[in-house]
Amino acid sequence: MAFFRAACIQLRSGKTVSENIAVAETLIRSAAGKGASYLQTPEMSNVLVRSREELLDRIADEDGDPFLARMRALAAELEVFIHIGSIAVLSDNGKVANRAFVIEPAGAILARYDKIHMFDVDLPNGESWRESATYEPGTQTVIADLFGIKVGMAVCYDIRFPAIFRTQARAGAEVLTAPAAFTRQTGRAHWHVLQRARAIENGAFVISAAQGGTHEDGRETFGHSLVVDPWGEILAELDHDEPGYVLAEIDTAMAVKARQRIPAIANERDFVCATADGLKEMTA
């Protein structure tokens, strides 16, 4: 069991990487000054641009990405963990990785995670997104060890796929994460309930920093960065879509207690699904 102060850093990332770095750094310094030792930024912290051609003009590979380099230096200077919710980085195959990083206080990269689920959807208001046209999906879930605490990594649309979070909880994760750039439309409908559901069903904290507001490329994101406790209560929320941050105290004893009260993970059983074609084996 452990205790730490977490910060969700809410951004409104635009097309200019240097400007996004400056905003993120200012907010991180302020939150760290108030005792945060784990600071999480949203999905696509380095740049948010819809055009594939514009995106490719603005990003680099991991070794050359200025946002990642600055966050590594900042983590070392402030002696904190910085969890980059994700940045766009060039992959070896010509596609782009939507990649999250956890940076330790010495400035080294502790863990990487590539977003698994691509947001390929057509929404009722006419919005259409095809992330798979640009991004290469990841293939494995990742758990980082911070302060001796297991922290599961996920990104945005992953929140709609409970198996990732259940797999992490089964492996001992007490803190789950889903930093995001949720659309305003889907955020209004589902953001809070999805975050709370993942926390409740796994008896774990969920920490999710978000993009918010109207961006340079015209997209609208929901904001409302929040921290949910293992009983499903919202501990802290930035109740708007403006850049800023919110702080919450994380005590992993709460996860232990929640899992003792409702031992859903321990009580899981394998089962089969009866179909017209016969029985097909299923796993929880």
H-only helix segments in 79-183: 162-170
* E strands, 147-229, in order: 149-153, 175-177, 205-208, 212-214, 220-222, 226-228
Among candidate residues 83, 40, 91, 86, the one with its CA nearest the CA of residue 62: 91
Tell me, yes or no, if 115 is annotated catalytic.
yes
* Cβ-based neighbours of 170, under 8 Å, separated by 6 or more: 265
Tell me, yes or no, if 156 is annotated catalytic.
yes
- Backbone φ and ψ for 172, nearest 5 degrees, come out as 105, 5
**Options 115, 136, 150, 174, the catalytic residue:** 115
Cα gap 262→155, rounded to integer Å: 26
**Options 15, 43, 104, 136, the catalytic residue:** 43
* Cβ-based neighbours of 234, under 8 Å, separated by 6 or more: 192, 196, 226, 227, 228
Tokens coding 114: 């590539």
**Options 136, 150, 156, 174, the catalytic residue:** 156
Q: Cβ(239)–Cβ(188) under 8 Å?
A: no
Cα radius of gyration (the chain)? 18
Tell me, yes or no, if 8 is annotated catalytic.
no
Cα gap 41→43, rounded to integer Å: 7
Report how far apart, in Å, the C-alpha atoms of 159 and of each of 141, 209, 226 are. Answer: 13, 13, 14
User: Which residue(s) pair with 111 in the sheet?
Assistant: 102
Tokens coding 183: 């659309």
Which residues form the catalytic set? 43, 115, 156
